[in-house]
Amino acid sequence: MITLKNFIKEILSIFVFLRFKTVKDLYEYLYKNHINSGIYATVFVYYCEKHCSSIGIGATFANWPHFAHGIFSIFISENAKFGKNCIIMQQVTIGTVITKGSKKIGAPTIGDNCYICAGAKIIGNIHIGNNVRIGANAVVYKDVPDNSVVVGNNVIIEKKEPIDNNWYLLCDEDHMLKYDFERRAFDKVDMNEFVGH
């Protein structure tokens, strides 16, 4: 029975993605129209489940994040809020606290230009400032000020200058890639320009 249901969802996905170019377009349609059931919602949830992920239809994004490794093993609470130009790696959890008696009941609010590394966990009604880097496997359960780096178990390192989180290293190590959120594309930059970022 499960195989038949998944087969039907695969067929529905083909037709849904004839209308919507990307999963981002589908998500935005569902969110803007307050749709959380029906064929489109079923296909969106199925797409996420196929990639071991869950993105709550109520999550708000100033613009769609860049999922550097695709939407793989990512959990985003339906009440989470994101600023613009966020980069999210694989196996990230952005979760809501619902435990009775907790001081941080609710979901995170994440600022602009944040870089969330692989395996990071951001939990509860907390605010992550602008230009913040969350390190790999970091657990964040307290507010984080602008221009900070978080590592380990909520260890916050504050920086005096804004952090530019839109750089990637190419394999040849002679060039960097800078992600342009407006064009949703990468620009190749000489390594000498990168020095100091």
The pTM of this model reads 0.76
Nearby residues of 55 by Cβ (< 8 Å), 6 or more positions away: 27, 44, 48, 71, 74, 75, 76
As a whole number of Å, the CA-based R_g of the chain is 18
Burial of 183 (0-12, 13-18, 19+ CB in 10 A): exposed
pLDDT by residue, tens only, the chain of 197 residues = 568 888 888 888 888 888 888 888 888 888 888 888 888 988 988 888 888 888 888 888 988 888 888 888 999 998 999 999 899 999 999 999 888 888 888 999 999 999 999 999 999 999 999 999 999 999 999 999 999 999 888 777 777 677 766 655 555 566 666 666 666 666 776 666 555 54
Secondary structure letter of residue 147 according to DSSP: S
The residues spanned by each domain of the chain are 1-50, 55-163, 166-197
**pLDDT at residue 1, as a whole number:** 57
Cβ distance 16 to 29 under 8 Å?
A: no
- 143-152 long-range contacts (CB < 8 A, ≥24 apart) are 146/111
**pLDDT at residue 129, as a whole number:** 95
CATH architecture of the domain with range 55-163? 3 Solenoid (2.160)
Measure the CA–CA gap between 137 and 135, rounded to whole angstroms: 6
Element (H, E) at 174: none
**pLDDT at residue 170, as a whole number:** 52
